[in-house]
Structure 1
Amino acid sequence: MAKDLEEIYKNHANSVYRYLLSLTHDADVAEELTEETFYRAVYSIHTYDGSCQIRVWLCQIAKHIWYQELAKKTKQTHQELHEDIPSPSRSPEEAVLFHGHKMDLYKAIHQLSEPMREVVHMRISGEFSFAEIGEILGQSENWARVNFYRAKQKLMEVL
């Protein structure tokens, strides 16, 4: 059994990490939540019924953990201060313009409806293929392509 679990980790840890990275946009948080995902999967492996691929099941656990993390963060009363330091390759003016465009893009992505928003995040931040996105979300590759295309159209209208 331990060998099976080790094999599951080797085969799927990278996919779960990339999925979480697409949700969190933070490598450290994604890594921590990946470990938590496999920790919980070990204790609930008996509930896996084989109705979906194991990677999909693991990503569902990861998504649930991420939602729990978000709920915890919204309950916190303090906020950390972050100082944005411009890249040395950009002038301060370019850094301000780049940051403004990036903010506009992420605001527009945030306004998308749920399946489109998640597909865009997974495609851009997680660098998942359309086939992987469809598999993780329990849909087809074509469904992922169509949702990404529609999301791009809406973003171009807004921006």
Structure 2
Amino acid sequence: MQKLNFPDYTFRFKSKENKIQIFDPVRKKFFILQPEEWVRQHVMQYLIREKKCPVSLVNAEKELKINGLSKRYDVVVYRPDGRIFLMVECKAPKVPITQETFNQIARYNMALKAEYLMVTNGMNHYYCKPDYQLEKYHFIEEIPTYIL
């Protein structure tokens, strides 16, 4: 897999049925190593190690219902009271980040109301803070370090 625009992290790998798998410490199991999964694993390590998000409050690849449709978010970090600190949309490194990517996370966020949003393809990272009163998104340099 290609080097991403994140610090270097150590991952656990195994081979099963001629496919490389990567261990996910959040979901506590191995997943086939696809380009988007490679980005997701880097994002989770970044959040846990650099942004000090408690691993017990990080969630990955869960289903949510939006207007009766089943969707899956990539990564969500919760607050202890159940509010959402951050929602992340991951794309494979070759997938450009477009307006449609932001529209996708904005649709998901209508249901979740996260404090911060992150969109990444592993090479380019975008962060924003929603303003729910003004119904706007403010782009920011980076997300803050997690504080309980």
TM over 0.5: no
Higher-Rg member (1/2): 1
**Bin of the TM-score, shorter chain as denominator length:** under 0.3
Choose between structure 1 and 2 for higher RCO, CA contacts under 8 A separated by at least 6 residues. 1
| Structure (1 or 2) with the greater strand fraction | 2
TM-score (norm 1): 0.26
TM-score (norm 2): 0.27
| Structure (1 or 2) with the greater helix fraction | 1
